[in-house]
Amino acid sequence: MTRNHRTGILGLVLPFRRDFVERLIDAKDQPSAGPADARVTIVEYADLECPTCAYFQKFLDSEFFPHYGKKVRVVFKEFPLTFHTWSTTAAVGNECAYQIDPSKFLNYRTLIFTNQEIINATNVREQLLHLGEQAGLNPFTLSSCLDTKRRWAASKPAARKPRPSV
């Protein structure tokens, strides 16, 4: 909770083995904002279709980065939920953006979150390409990467669906 009691963080602290946690939160060569040598690193797992994640991104952009951006590093990890219809494709697009031009990744991510309401399962590819152009990404490179990675992801065995929490 912040001192002014306007913002708090809600989450779980899980007692994992050290080696497991280090692999889980590996921050090397990952999309991030803030200095690589920051004393504090936050690793965020987010689903690009999640409204709460979009709200958190808005907080990061408007309040957190302007105040702590030079002191804290935030590492972004994709965590698409299987019950969201377009989040996996968006996660692939986000990873493509980072590979194409890491300097444009954060803006692209923010654009996806900002435009959640107009993205759906049938127009996700079109919207990701449109938002990529707005972020300054080459549309042909993004399109090619999206198609290649989607084929690769489709060939992998299906992951177990998460159980709803009670």
- Pairwise CA distance, residues 121 & 106, whole Å: 23
Length of the chain: 166
- Pairwise CA distance, residues 91 & 84, whole Å: 12
pLDDT digits (tens, 9 = 90+) for 84-130: 999 999 999 999 999 999 999 999 999 999 999 999 999 999 999 99
How many helices, marked H, and strands, marked E, lie in the chain? Answer: 7, 3
Average pLDDT, integer, range 40-54: 94
Q: Tell me the average pLDDT of the chain.
A: 85
Residue 34: DSSP 8-state: S
If residue 78 lies in a helix (H) or strand (E), which one and from where to where?
A: strand 72-78
Looking at residue 12, what is its pLDDT?
Answer: 60
With H, G, I as helix, E, B as strand and everything else as coil, classify residue 40.
strand
- Pairwise CA distance, residues 146 & 91, whole Å: 10
